[in-house]
Copies of this chain bind each other. A is one copy, B any other.
Amino acid sequence: MIKEEIRESISAKGLKVTPQRVAIMEAIITLHNHPTAENVAEYIKTNFPHIAVGTIYKVLDTFVEHNLLKKVKTDSGIMRYDEVISNHHHLYCTETERIEDYEDDTLTDLIHNHFKNKKIKNFKIEDIKLQITGKFETAG
């Protein structure tokens, strides 16, 4: 996504387009592997040496509220941020802190079909995500 697209996506939500916001969105897109607020801070500090961590958290939360980003929770309790992509699941590595996206429409459909026939009592499903834990294998 080019800078102008970022500006537009922020503006489209009725939010002020500030250099900090653009830079933070750029950072998330560039880092793209579910960075933490700290990762974003580090990345951004080159161009914005004076940006406050509070600002980064505020901007990230604003983006999450306006559906420009998603928050992903990790086992250690540190939050990570993720571009909004349609229907994807997550692979969690048990050895490293790595998280990867996993798209599998067949599987998603399978699950959704299952719930077309079988309702959960007293519960209205809004979203279903798989947490697949395991190990990444180094090629070789």
Contacts and interface: CB of A to CB of B under 8 A. Distances in A.
A126 B130 contact: no
Interface of A is mostly: strand
A77 B75 contact: no
Interface in A110-140: 110-111, 114, 118, 120, 122-139
A133 B127 contact: yes
Interface residues of A, number: 37
A135 B131 contact: no
Given A77-B73, A106-B114, A114-B106, A124 B135 contact: yes
A114 B107 contact: yes
A74 B138 CA distance: 30
A132 B125 contact: yes
Interface of A: 71, 73-75, 77-79, 91, 94, 100, 102, 104, 106-107, 110-111, 114, 118, 120, 122-139
21 contacts: A71-B75, A73-B75, A77-B77, A91-B120, A94-B126, A102-B120, A107-B114, A107-B118, A110-B114, A111-B111, A122-B136, A122-B138, A122-B139, A123-B135, A123-B137, A124-B137, A126-B133, A126-B134, A127-B132, A129-B133, A130-B130
